[in-house]
Amino acid sequence: MFLTRIGFGSKVIITGDASQKDLMPGTRSGLDVAVKVLQKIEGIAFCTLTSRDVVRHPLVQKIVKAYENYERKEAAARPERREPDARLRFAGRRRQGRSGR
């Protein structure tokens, strides 16, 4: 992970859009994980933009707002799912491979 390679006097800026993911169902986003892991560390800041920050065509602002509303409703409708730790999933696969199953 490149974040562990930050040198003195360096500044790192990561950009990403949490609403634009192309991942298989059940796959965790590295961006989402980074936000959860790093959000309380002093010296690290996050800037979350919304439809009010769109400075393009007014129709784009409406589109972004519509997707924000959709995501909010979807999140409220589904129970929060905790995924098993990646190390446990990997260890389970490794054991299965060694036993020949």
Residue 5 clears pLDDT 80, i.e. is over it = yes
pLDDT at 22: 87
For range 56-82, the mean pLDDT: 86
Counted domains in the chain: 1
At 12-22, the pLDDT tens digits run 998 888 878 88
Distance CA 69, CA 60 (A): 14
Who contacts 2 (Cβ-Cβ below 8 Å, separation ≥6)? 12
Domain range enclosing 93: 2-99
